[in-house]
Chains A and B, each alone.
Chain A
Amino acid sequence: MKKGMSMRDSAIQVAAAVALAAALEASAASAQTADLSGVWLVDNSVGGPAGKMTQWTRQDPAFTPEGLAKFNANKPGKGPRQAPPAFGNDPLGDANPPGLLRTLVYFRPIDIIQSPDRIVQLFEYAHFWRTIWTDGRPVPDDPGPYWYGYSVGKWEGDTLVVQTVGLDARAWLDEWGTPFSEEAKITERWRRMNANTIQMTITVDDPRTFAKPWTSDPRTLRLQPKGSPNGEVLEVIFAPMDEKEFNDRVRNPAGGRVN
């Protein structure tokens, strides 16, 4: 009897230990996968060459007539349609904010800070930030416009799914002058692939600008360890007074434009 009890106790102990281990493992996996904390940098070596319209995808999305007119009116200093910025109309050329989507496609570190009710992304590029609310609030009806939009996120397993609306359409969607409208609804998917890698995509639903919704190629972000060159975000502010002097004395003369 005593022996039987002992065996039963052992069985219970083993079962409890197995359950505890499983719970700990699940907890650790969850802590690792549902967590975007850290300083991240887009790996530009992954993904290959982009398409002709936007840096976000190699498959050129179809514009509406309104979208095409805006695309043709934008004169970028980079990409397949690049012109000397002295004769372009890049809003960044006068130190305006790049805005959310252009920041996400650019190659500069992003510091992601996660708390229970929100995720904050600190962007080195132009020294801005944005909040992704994860407290269960709904996506507001008609916010903004905001240069960095209004973002609400929820976890689907290891993927943070973010709805972003209210984007100020004076910004560009990328460095190449691709436009969007204030009706754009962006779905971002940030998937923690493993300890060192995030894969992210955006889906652009903007019926004023594009004939149908389209999804970007996946972009890979790599974790930047502390102490490495990109392990912390630096201050990169485009001050209007510096930008003006740069235009007057460097950018415009280099492009052959007499001030």
Chain B
Amino acid sequence: MTPFTTRARLAALAMLTTGMMTVQVSGHHGTAASYDNSMKVTVTGKVTEFWWRNPHSALFIDVTDDKGALVNWSVEMSSPGVLTRAGWNRKMFVAGDAVSIVVNPSRAGTPAGVCLNPCTVTANGKGVSAREA
């Protein structure tokens, strides 16, 4: 599969939102280089894993594509230190949660995105702040 068709599939997979304000993306090593911070994509699906670990936390989401196949997205997030200071914790998401998250997608067109603090996620119909312990 060429990168272009991969990208086209991903565009179909995820609802593309345009005209949104871009935010400064900065990570501790190379986040901005891997992701397109001029672009925003909403990823909607079911959580398969949530990593609360360094160097960056990550949320994995099963997304159903237009042909009904499941594609697992990775969403890179800030480190636990940064997220702890933002009021998050390791129990923020569990497998099976229905989530919707706006990410800057991978420049390579793979099913990957980044959402660094401040990151807004809707989980089971509520903002993540509702799940803070």
Contacts and interface: CB of A to CB of B under 8 A. Distances in A.
Contacts of B114: 254
A251 B34 contact: yes
B33 A253 contact: no
Interface in A225-259: 229-230, 234-239, 242-243, 246, 249-251, 253-256
Interface stretch (B8-16, B48-56, B88-96, B125-133): B48-56
B32 to A, nearest CB: 7
Contact of B29 (A85, A234, A254): A85
A175 B32 CA distance: 13
Nearest to B32: A82
Nearest to B106: A254
Contacts of B106: 253-256
B81 A256 contact: no
B19 interface: no
A93 interface: yes
B55 A255 contact: no
B58 A250 contact: yes
B55 A234 contact: no
Interface residues of B, number: 34
Contacts of B27: 77-78
A99 interface: no
A229 B29 contact: no
Contact of B54 (A229, A230, A239, A254): A239
Interface string B67-80: 00000001010011
Interface in A156-188: 175
A95 B55 CA distance: 9
A93 B33 CA distance: 14
Contact of B30 (A88, A242, A256): A88
Contacts of A77: 27, 29-31, 33-34
A83 interface: yes
Interface residues of A, number: 35
Interface in A62-119: 76-78, 82-86, 88, 90, 92-93, 95, 106, 108
Contact of A249 (B31, B54, B74): B74
A246 B58 contact: yes
Contact of A254 (B26, B55, B110): B110
B79 A254 contact: no
Given A229-B85, A253-B110, A254-B106, A175 B55 contact: no
Given A78-B28, A250-B112, A255-B106, 15 more contacts: A77-B27, A77-B31, A78-B30, A82-B30, A84-B107, A85-B29, A95-B55, A234-B81, A235-B81, A249-B60, A250-B74, A251-B30, A253-B108, A253-B111, A254-B114
25 contacts: A77-B29, A84-B34, A86-B34, A88-B30, A92-B29, A93-B30, A108-B81, A230-B85, A234-B81, A236-B80, A237-B54, A238-B55, A243-B54, A243-B55, A246-B56, A246-B58, A250-B74, A253-B74, A253-B108, A253-B111, A254-B113, A255-B106, A256-B3, A256-B107, A256-B108
List the 7 closest A-B pairs by CB distance, nearest first: A77-B30, A256-B108, A85-B30, A254-B112, A229-B85, A77-B29, A82-B33
Interface of B: 3, 26-35, 51, 53-56, 58, 60, 74, 76, 79-81, 84-85, 106-114
Interface of A: 76-78, 82-86, 88, 90, 92-93, 95, 106, 108, 124, 175, 229-230, 234-239, 242-243, 246, 249-251, 253-256
